[in-house]
Structure 1
């Protein structure tokens, strides 16, 4: 392992002896380039890299931010981070030497100091850890830029060595916000990501909203990946208690809201298998427009996490607009699951609807016949017209005459059945 790399132990750190240059002169026999030339290496003032010599880049910053041997500090980290940001690189802690419980020597180095350790292809280790690890690139270039501090009491520090030569180019000022050291999600950003998440807006959309609000990518102070990582940390913190949080939240609403209803079911492993809820607005909609309802299970959009389908109950008001009558979550689309859901619907609203419209799901059909005993079950007209193209030629199925006849026939079937039932003939 490289003894100059901070990946080693934080004790007995011994960097190479490097000549301190306070006036940006020559450092040993290496070639040196100013920060302007580093940000434009193709300029005429740039120094060509030799075959044996290493090109060094020297930051051009204000003299008040440059460290000089003998300077004393109490809070040196902030001062060096400010210098690094003005220069166009990011810094980190290198190591410390302790003696008698007191920090005697402290190092701050460039973020590109050292080299990434080589990975050993060990089949035994792979068998112990079968999970695949993401391959990451490295930014380490073995940069020797460093700041060495010494202390007697562990409180105040004195600059003992300062090496300002870097073996890499610097970041342009307009791209500094992309460096990990200067990316930070403030508390206001985290609250916005959380609040937008409650409105079904993901971290990517939350980032673009903040970008427009603050006036640019660089004004946000973070990247899209930072927003994604924050959301992932929230999900990791919630862990396996997400279902308990939902049940507790709905229980509190049922306690304080008189018209709120909800029911849930669990299996033998205490896993949530079904959930149904309806608030006061849903019940008002059902009282006015609950004669004909429709429900359908959406496709599984969360196959990797919850593996549950969303089942909304909808109706149509006097303006031909959809109104919500309730909603549910099911872990499976079997007949028993739909029976439980429809029984929860009847328990919440107190009566059965007159007409139920669904697709051609056999599990739904059996559940409706078992629970909605006095309701008429009809198939969705959209699904019927979609099936027509499978039975007849496409040219015939798309004509207005055939569509009109199907609509007329569809509207006459319930009417004839109604009269036949009232007359007792069937």
Structure 2
């Protein structure tokens, strides 16, 4: 196999496509930088083994582990993601005090099963956990440089939440 790619992204896309077709998942490995400071080798690997780079010098089709069967393909990390519709439902159901696991179970019932969801309970939990708004408090010092006074993570972007945050900030900095 003597394939040459015009970009690193093209090489990665081809390997991910191949991996999905064969039933395994890909992870990014280390990279090598030459004396000129240029990246000249990048390793892409099967989640358990394998090596690739921009130019594929060697390809070993045999694996030392069983590949995923087609019905189990949805368990691969590259196949799990939350859609915009699911994000919308998670957000709306959280206003009803339903946690991400309950939302997952409801949606699993609606979609017909885990294999049709495209995401697991962990993706739902992580989305809910990190779906926060970052609010920095910045100003300019006497040298005309930006200075961060503080920051907050907000679960919701409501007027009441921002009013609460501003009051707490003023209390902390001593208005």
Structures share a fold, TM > 0.5? yes
Matched position secondary structure for 1:146? coil
Aligned to 1:82: 17
Change in Cα spacing, 1:101 to 1:245, as seen in structure 2 (3 Å) is: same
- Which residues of structure 2 form unaligned runs of 5+? 136-150
Contact 1:177 1:221 in 2 (8 A): yes
The aligned runs of 1:15-94 (5 Å cut-off) are 68=1, 70-74=2-6, 75-94=10-29
Matched position secondary structure for 1:162? coil
Structure of greater relative contact order (alpha carbons < 8 Å, 6+ residues apart): 2
Inter-partner Cα distance in structure 1 for 2:62 and 2:13 = 20
Matched position secondary structure for 1:73? coil
Aligned to 1:172: 69
Whether 2:50 is the aligned partner of 1:109: answer no
Runs of 4 or more off by more than 6 Å in structure 1?
Answer: 243-247
Whether 2:27 is the aligned partner of 1:95: answer no
Structure possessing the higher radius of gyration over alpha carbons: 1
Change in Cα spacing, 1:244 to 1:88, as seen in structure 2 (3 Å) is: closer
Quote how far apart the aligned CAs of 1:237 are. 5.7
Inter-partner Cα distance in structure 2 for 1:244 and 1:93 = 34
Quote how far apart the aligned CAs of 1:212 are. 3.4
1:75-94 CA-to-partner distances (Å, cap 9, x unmatched) read: 01111111112222111122
Aligned to 2:122: 225
Whether 2:82 is the aligned partner of 1:185: answer yes
Inter-partner Cα distance in structure 2 for 1:196 and 1:178 = 25
Contact 2:133 2:153 in 1 (8 A): no
RMSD between aligned residues: 3.3
Aligned to 2:108: 211
1:391-410 CA-to-partner distances (Å, cap 9, x unmatched) read: xxxxxxxxxxxxxxxxxxxx
Change in Cα spacing, 1:83 to 1:226, as seen in structure 2 (3 Å) is: same
Aligned to 2:93: 196
Inter-partner Cα distance in structure 2 for 1:167 and 1:214 = 35
Whether 2:51 is the aligned partner of 1:146: answer yes
1:227-274 CA-to-partner distances (Å, cap 9, x unmatched) read: 0111111369689665996672597xxxxxxxxxxxxxx9xx87xxxx
User: Aligned residue pairs: how many?
Assistant: 148
Whether 2:160 is the aligned partner of 1:248: answer yes
Contact 2:131 2:155 in 1 (8 A): no
> So what's the TM-score if we normalise by structure 1?
0.31
Contact 2:132 2:155 in 1 (8 A): no
Contact 1:91 1:111 in 2 (8 A): yes
Inter-partner Cα distance in structure 2 for 1:241 and 1:91 = 33
Inter-partner Cα distance in structure 2 for 1:213 and 1:175 = 20
